[in-house]
Chains A and B, each alone.
Chain A
Amino acid sequence: MKRIAFILLIMLALTGCKNYRVVDEVQIIQAMGYDVKNGNYIGTAIYPTFKQGPMTKPNILTTSSSTTYDLIPRLSSKSALPIEEGQLRLVLFGEEFAKGGITEVVHSLARNNKIGSRLQLAVAKGDAEELLRITAKKTLSDTLYLSNLVEQNIRAMNLPKMNLHLFLYNYFGKGRDPFLPYFEKKGDFVKLEGIALFKDGRFVGKVNLRDSFLVKVLLNETKNGMYQLRVADYRKKEESRVLLQNLFARSRYEWKKRGERPVLTISIHIQAAVKDYPSWLDMPQKNTLKMVREKMEKDIETSVKNLMEYFKEKEVDPLGIGDFVRSQTRNWNEEEFYREYKEIDIRPHVKVDIIQTGIGE
């Protein structure tokens, strides 16, 4: 009798816990865009509506407000179903918005317990809304298009690892600055154009997709990435290109501070496969291979140098060089380091090993 009373009591208490959300009775936002126009913020949400069977149709909601905080509540006032942000995969910022600073939005995302750490953030050239509209159109018709595109490029191509967690890591951490993927509208498509660089939460510059391969290698992500190099033929006086696929790369930093100018030596070792090469380059012959290799090494060295000059000029540190120096020096001081950031003498040393040329010759 006592036991039954006990169970009944518990059941009574459980009736309070009716905190459920049924999948087809909520509107699951999968991508969200932020823009600013004439001082007004515009929020764009893209969500799938489930029609018959597995077919989904992307839909778009937009709203504008004078603050970023109430964009999602305002979206609710246009939606028949409650809006759920738990499945949010990508947040896209318009270029204007990103220049004004994305800190507020990112902080609120970081505080929101429903949002996963693997959420992708990105910057769009022009309007975020326009790009999201393209992905919702008939040709693409995919609510997850942009987030899948980013993830695919991280896994297999030139994009270094990034997501909400890494953005916050780079944003809060001393001696490093965050970066995000950068999208551009190309006709009826959206194209990944490279990396957008941030300084204190503001968009300040960008790196193209070719150089983002270098960023990836310099961040010590060992695998994947494609890099195209120029090789000139002395005899024919013509310029052609070689396409390199990174199989395994490693970069090592060395910090020396003797005399006035601090020196940062970067040794990069790339083990690569050659994907495409011009016909005059007879690959299997040893001396041409050596020639190509040396060419590549020199080319990458100058590219790294140029890239670093660009970072210095923009005063950003996406590679976390400050953090590296911190791990080498006691009582490292952030301000002191960045005061002489521009003075650092960067010496890249590149070594390329060609370990595959494919199955044909």
Chain B
Amino acid sequence: MSKKQFQNILIWTSAIILIILIMTPGLWVVLTAFRPQVDVMAKPPVWIPRNLSFNQFETMLFGGSEGSMGRSPVPVLSYLYNSIVISFTSTFVAVLVGTIGGYGFARHNFKFKNGYFLMIMLTRTIPGISLSLPIFILFSKIGIIDTHFGIILVFVALNIPFTVWLTDGFFRQIPRAMSEVAMTDGCTKLQAFWHIELPLSKSGIASAGIFAFLISWNEYALVSNLARSTDSKTLTVGLMDFTAQFTINWPGMCALAVFIIIPALILTFLVQKHLVSGLTFGGVKG
């Protein structure tokens, strides 16, 4: 066996082990979602499921029928609605504002530019959860606690720095001559941006968008503080509805978890092409 072959085998085995390690919890969640509570709680654990069912999903989406786990149905559809509204709106706003910001940093010189950039990046170093109390107090004072608006605001603030950083890198990669030639071609600055620079950086914007979306979609800690009712609770926060005083409905919780994962997976697949080129092309040069 040549050295090269040996290396290949080594790389593949470690890759496979790593993937299994990363995937196991996810697989376990999926598995749990389709199993009865008895199996889930069994000791020693039941590795190979004996019977699988869609009961949990049925209960979750269409309300509990007699004989199922018998819990009051979780208002999943309201949560889904909240999640969709909050994630999409916050992503849209963050990408819009962040892209404009990134363009500004990439193309224009102004006083204290590096300072501003650093400041924006530094906001990312503060753990979001440490802000939850101040935000909670502030929001309850101004009366936007438990509203879509409040949560969207938080996510927008959370996502803009990353979007600025990512798109800044992308716009830097586009030669300045590109917009200049567009301007001598008869474009205004805005037209040059719209027709030339924006399409050229769409990978970067797509990457920024998917990241912003995933952060908003998956966030739990902050929203669990800010959302108090079905008016604004998102799917992730809704997971906690499966815990009662003494029991936890593991299969139900996992069913909801699967329900949360699916849209994120689909979206990631859709923009995957951009994502890969985005991270390798634009992201590296910050």
Do these two chains really belong together in a complex? no
Chain B residues proximal to chain A, CB less than 8 Å? none
